[in-house]
Amino acid sequence: MNALMTSLMVGAFSGGAAAYLGSLMITKRMALVGDALGHVALPGMGLALLLKLDVSLGAFAFLAAGILLIWALGEKTVLSLETIVGVVFVSSLAIGFIIVPRPELLETLIGDISNITPFGAGLAVMISTLIFFFIRRIYPGMMLLNISRDLARVEGVIPKQYNLIYLAAVALIVSIGVKVTGTLLVGALVIIPPATARIMSSSLDRYAKTSVTIGIVSNIVGILMARVTQFEAGPAIILVNSMCFGLALLSKRFRPNA
């Protein structure tokens, strides 16, 4: 499989999984958490580069540690999840800028999917598939938790377990997303497609499916646009996502009775 086809495959799988997870994050009003966690991955990516390892492995190692810390502090303190994420985020960002080698700093910030290895591609596809599976399993329970924690408990939903699975899924999608758009832009993969779908959709089921579709198509078009224009793929993908969002807003604005 050539480099372009590998990039398109990884882009499609990671974009779809990120958008599906993002549809849940926006519903929980946690869209910016994915963006913050992207920066938590930076020190791990720096260590991976120094050790000549795949950056996704280093990113996930740091994200896993960060997620466990965030989850534990969330259970034991009165601080909001967003506050805890913010503290971990800025601390990781500072460490990352110290660790990441200067020649590779730009790549860690905006990504370079064209350099993805066969191992990295296979890992990204496998992780994306796992995220689809686990988020599909917990989606109804997480939505119920948004409505009423007491009602969710009656239905057998255990908040601690569901929140841990949810945060683990965020860590996984960020660990592969940093290869596509880098730590600086990875949050857009979980924010813009579901935000666009929210404007376009009238039901929860359609909202999730539209999010996935936009995530997949935007990544594919962005990678192809980067190939033609010689832009970096990460920013190109985000530009395509932003254009979709703008078109959705215009469509809503000029639709009769909108």
Per-residue model confidence as pLDDT tens digits over 154-198: 777 777 777 778 878 887 888 788 778 877 777 788 889 999 998
As a whole number of Å, the CA-based R_g of the chain is 18
- pTM recorded for the entire structure: 0.79
The Cβ of residue 221 has, within 10 Å, a number of other Cβ atoms equal to: 18
Return the H-helix or E-strand segment holding 228: helix 204-229
Taking residues 47-64, report their average pLDDT.
80
| Residue 181: C-alpha distances to residues 147, 196, 207 (Å) | 33, 19, 24
List, for residues 224-252, the tens digit of each pLDDT value.
998 888 888 888 999 999 999 999 888 87
Pick 122 or 150 by higher pLDDT.
122
Residue 79: DSSP 8-state: S
More confident residue, 20 or 88: 20
Reported as a single tens digit per residue, the pLDDT across 122-148 is 888 888 898 888 888 888 887 777 777
b (16+ CB within 10 A) / e for 58-85: bbbbbbbbbbeebbebbeeeeeebeebb
**Predicted local distance difference test score (pLDDT) of residue 258:** 47
Look up the CATH number of domain 3-254.
1.10.3470.10
C-alpha angle 4/7/11, rounded to 5°? 140
What is the rounded average pLDDT of the residues 95-123? Answer: 76
Contacts of 147 (CB under 8 A, 6+ apart): none
In this structure, what DSSP letter does residue 115 have? G
Q: What does the alpha-carbon distance between residue 200 and residue 208 come to, in Å, rounded to a whole number? A: 11
CA–CA distance, 46 with 43 (Å, rounded to integer):
5
- The domain segmentation of the chain, as residue ranges, is 3-254
257 pLDDT more than 60: no
Q: So what's the pLDDT on residue 256?
A: 53
Long-range contacts of 61-70 (CB under 8 A, 24+ apart): 62/92, 63/37, 63/171, 63/172, 63/174, 63/175, 64/168, 64/171, 66/37, 66/40, 66/92, 66/171, 67/37, 67/167, 67/168, 67/170, 67/171, 70/167
CA 200 – CA 203 distance, rounded (Å): 10
Compute the distance between CA of residue 177 and CA of residue 183 in angstroms, rounded to an integer. 8
